[in-house]
A and B are shown apart, each in its own frame.
Chain A
């Protein structure tokens, strides 16, 4: 069998949530154990983000998958709740190591089965939130924005440090030379659709996942997962529009206009962003009133290959 390659995604005319059921949710349920075997190592920037949270903080991992960041969070004395759509992945996540029980036993992690757009969290309960390699599975701009809004809504809003922080990672359209992902610009375009200039920039793709033949089966199975590949600046724009929809004043980097914020004004500040190993990432914080810039900690920085 030739190696399957990514193909452009043709948006359905029906409800996008129905298409996502077959191109995202069903696939993850089917490949959960195999997928989990390939996802162990925490990405360094997320490790550093978690290590910078005050000890005993409580966080949300939205789109937690197999829960690999639970282990990282546990190692830094944090508590983290895993949210995912896939029951199969959550069953793996809850049994991840790193949560101390009594007598040296390992305890189970807390998991909640829900969509990325889940709005059921009470406001102000989380000290930090991450969404790593998840939001790119949502197939419309509105659904992606709602996922970011759902990530911001339960964050603690404080008028002084430490402010609640969040970090988001998504797959990038721009790929490094050493990329093992072959998609986006190089996705195979079916015959007859090549004359349009737009196909040069295919941001919505189906990426194959090959599940090797299991015992008792003769053939491997190929599953197609939907991805939206983010271009430069798109993640920042997404966070900004989500923040505006939630009534935040959006502050950029060293923006000092925070000085004229009133006590009850919600603000969101983008602390850092960048490209790393074929992903776009962004780190931000939220708070109330005048921004306290004392004791500023440096945000995480990409190791060498960041750009922008």
Chain B
């Protein structure tokens, strides 16, 4: 259950990979929609931290086209609900996240992304 909110916070951390290292690209995804209690205040609070373009591109790659290209300046409750669905209810259970910059693949298994790197790959 990598939710898209978590995916929106994760970048590649391979040593010297600092271009196109975010967002990671999903592939071979098993997607599960889990209804989650709506908390629009939580979504509002997260808005300043959100990378909108990354979220929209990622949601579309997973088949959800409910979000507009540009982040609305003032979000209506309906827009917040659409955002809640994308951020909190779309879970990737299995699959891969690939870095566009260096090609590193982070596998997702049992809903848990594996961000471990071999010691020589870690940036210091």
Q: Which residues of A contact B (CB under 8 A)?
A: 15, 17-18, 56-58, 79, 81, 85, 87, 90-91, 94, 100-102, 107-108, 110-115, 117-122, 124-125, 146, 154, 156
Contacts and interface: CB of A to CB of B under 8 A. Distances in A.
Interface in B1-31: 1-3, 5-6, 8-13, 22
B112 A111 contact: yes
Contacts of A108: 1, 34, 111
A121 B45 contact: no
Contacts of B34: 101, 107-108
Given A113-B113, A113-B116, A146-B124, 11 more contacts: A17-B119, A57-B45, A102-B35, A110-B5, A112-B112, A113-B112, A114-B116, A118-B115, A119-B13, A121-B10, A122-B11
A169 B113 CA distance: 26
A56 B1 contact: no
Given A115-B116, A119-B123, A110 B6 contact: yes
Size band of the interface chain B makes with A: 20 to 34
Nearest to A93: B112
A4 B54 CA distance: 52
B12 A56 contact: no
B51 A113 contact: no
Interface string B79-91: 0000000000000
Contacts of A112: 6, 10, 112-113, 115
Interface string B83-122: 0000000000000000000000000001111111001001
Contact of A122 (B35, B39, B42, B51): B51
16 contacts: A15-B119, A57-B45, A91-B112, A102-B35, A107-B34, A107-B36, A110-B3, A110-B6, A112-B6, A113-B112, A113-B115, A118-B115, A122-B11, A122-B49, A122-B51, A124-B49
B6 A94 contact: no
Contacts of A114: 114-116
B37 interface: yes
Contacts of B41: 56
Interface of chain B, helix or strand or loop or mixed? loop
Contacts of A87: 112, 114
Contacts, number: 82
Contact of A120 (B3, B112, B115): B115
A43 to B, nearest CB: 25
Interface in B40-57: 41-42, 45-46, 49, 51
B112 A94 contact: yes
A85 B116 contact: yes
A102 B37 contact: yes
Most chain-A CB neighbours within 10 Å: which of B12, B37, B112, B114?
A: B112
A65 B109 CA distance: 18
Contacts of A110: 1-3, 5-6
B110 A91 contact: yes
Contacts of B124: 146
A25 to B, nearest CB: 10
Give 3 nearest A-B pairs by CB, closest first: A120-B13, A114-B115, A125-B9
Nearest to A91: B110
Contacts of A100: 37
Nearest to B38: A102
A90 B111 CA distance: 10
Nearest to A114: B115
A94 B36 CA distance: 15
Nearest to A122: B9
Contacts of A91: 110, 112
A101 B38 CA distance: 10
